[in-house]
């Protein structure tokens, strides 16, 4: 019987190549070498000891990384789900509830309050769904796994720097399986570059302090080139027999030129006379056409998905100014 069990174990090991780990180095040796590198970069021995205490590879993280399902949802299905009426209603209520701090952040960073709230809502359902993985352990798992070792090794190093700087306790450093953290879902590198201690308590707390969350989102957009004189995207109506080859996210044209092609806003209203925009089909052409400003590209720096960027624009528009 023991021989049969051994055979089954070996068989399964070779029949699930998607979860195989390519790194031939023993985990203990890998951890030792990482600690030496981290120490050389100034990370404290205390943080390193705490970070790797009781650490084991997280199978679920490896599975999610190696078996990320391809989305089968159409753009319309995605938009209906992500920009549901309940999310719009909640966004309006939260904008009103946090109006004072949001307007202060908006003035300081030049990013509209409804855009900040829309990103917050789509990323984490307004802070309710932030991930429950231990971020250093998830990142260490991915760094050791090896498929994107350099990227995740750097993110792990950055995560430990954040802990060393006192912004969050290791036990509270939770996030997604890929290491995106807090209510703004920043990777550690983005945290170090863009997170803001807006309430001046000495910590950039994107996990529990809304002022820091809002300012961090706004700072990311500002530093990425946000222009407060422009919107993000407007859904448009194309004339019959329109030349769809004009769709090109990188080809900005004057609004007057798009008007000459016979394009109107979705409700039939004319386009504005000023501004530059590119024509984009986020999904299939029949699912909707949008004229997008350079701010759309700023949102794409946050997340490269056109589905995501268009959803942010749509939610921000539907939230409005909160009444």
> Is residue 21 within 8 Å of residue 140, measured between CB atoms?
no
127-166 pLDDT per residue, tens: 999 999 999 999 999 999 978 899 999 999 999 999 999 9
Identify the pLDDT of residue 10: 34
**Which stretches of the chain score pLDDT less than 70?**
1-20, 22, 68-71, 285, 322-323
CA-CA distances (angstroms) from residue 58 to 12, 63, 161, 271, 310? Answer: 18, 9, 22, 52, 34
- Ordered alpha helix ranges (H), the chain: 2-15, 27-40, 45-52, 59-66, 75-82, 85-97, 99-109, 113-124, 135-145, 149-164, 188-194, 210-223, 255-260, 294-302, 306-319
pLDDT reported for residue 66 = 83
Model-level pTM? 0.90
How much of the chain exceeds pLDDT 90, in percent?
Answer: 84
Largest Cα span, the chain: 80
Render pLDDT for 24-70 as a digit per residue (tens, 0 to 9). Answer: 789 999 999 999 999 999 999 999 999 999 999 999 999 988 876 56
Backbone angles phi, psi at 196, to 5 degrees: -125, 135
How far, in Å, CA of 61 to CA of 137, rounded? 10
Specify the pLDDT at position 121: 98
Going by their DSSP bridges, the two strands 253-254 and 233-237 should be labelled as unpaired
Query: What is the three-class DSSP state of 140?
Result: helix
What domains are there in the chain, each with its CATH number? Answer: 24-226 (no CATH), 233-319 (1.10.530.10)
**Residue 5 pLDDT:** 36
| Coil vs helix vs strand at 321 | coil
């Amino acid at each position: 019987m023991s021989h049969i069990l051994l055979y089954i174990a070996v068989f399964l090991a070779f029949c699930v190549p998607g979860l195989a780990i390519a790194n031939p180095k023993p985990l203990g040796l890998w951890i030792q070498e990482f600690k030496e590198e981290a120490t050389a970069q100034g990370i404290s021995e205390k943080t390193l000891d705490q970070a790797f205490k009781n650490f084991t590879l997280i199978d679920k993280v490896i599975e999610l990384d190696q078996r990320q399902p391809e989305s089968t949802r159409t753009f319309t299905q995605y938009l209906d789900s992500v920009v549901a009426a309940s999310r719009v209603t909640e966004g309006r209520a939260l904008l009103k509830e946090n109006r004072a701090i949001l307007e202060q952040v908006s003035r300081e960073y030049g990013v509209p309050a409804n855009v900040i709230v829309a990103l917050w809502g789509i990323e984490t359902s307004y802070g309710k769904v932030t991930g429950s993985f231990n971020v250093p352990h998830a990142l260490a798992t991915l760094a050791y796994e090896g498929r994107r070792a350099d990227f995740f090794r750097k993110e792990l190093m950055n995560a430990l720097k954040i802990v060393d700087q006192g912004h969050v306790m290791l036990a509270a450093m939770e996030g997604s399986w890929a290491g995106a953290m807090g209510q703004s879902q920043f990777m550690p590198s983005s945290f170090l570059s863009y997170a803001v201690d807006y309430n001046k308590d000495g910590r950039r707390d994107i996990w529990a302090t809304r002022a820091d969350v809002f300012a961090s989102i706004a700072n990311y957009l500002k530093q990425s080139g946000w222009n407060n004189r422009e919107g993000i995207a407007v859904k448009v109506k194309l004339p019959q027999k329109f030349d769809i080859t004009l769709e090109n996210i990188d080809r900005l044209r004057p609004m007057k030129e798009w008007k000459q092609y016979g394009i109107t806003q979705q409700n039939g209203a004319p386009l504005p006379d000023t501004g530059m925009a590119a024509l984009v089909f986020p999904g299939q052409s029949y699912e909707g056409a949008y004229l997008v400003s350079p701010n759309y590209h700023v949102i794409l720096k946050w997340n490269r998905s056109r589905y995501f960027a268009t959803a942010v624009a749509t939610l921000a528009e539907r939230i409005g100014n909160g009444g």
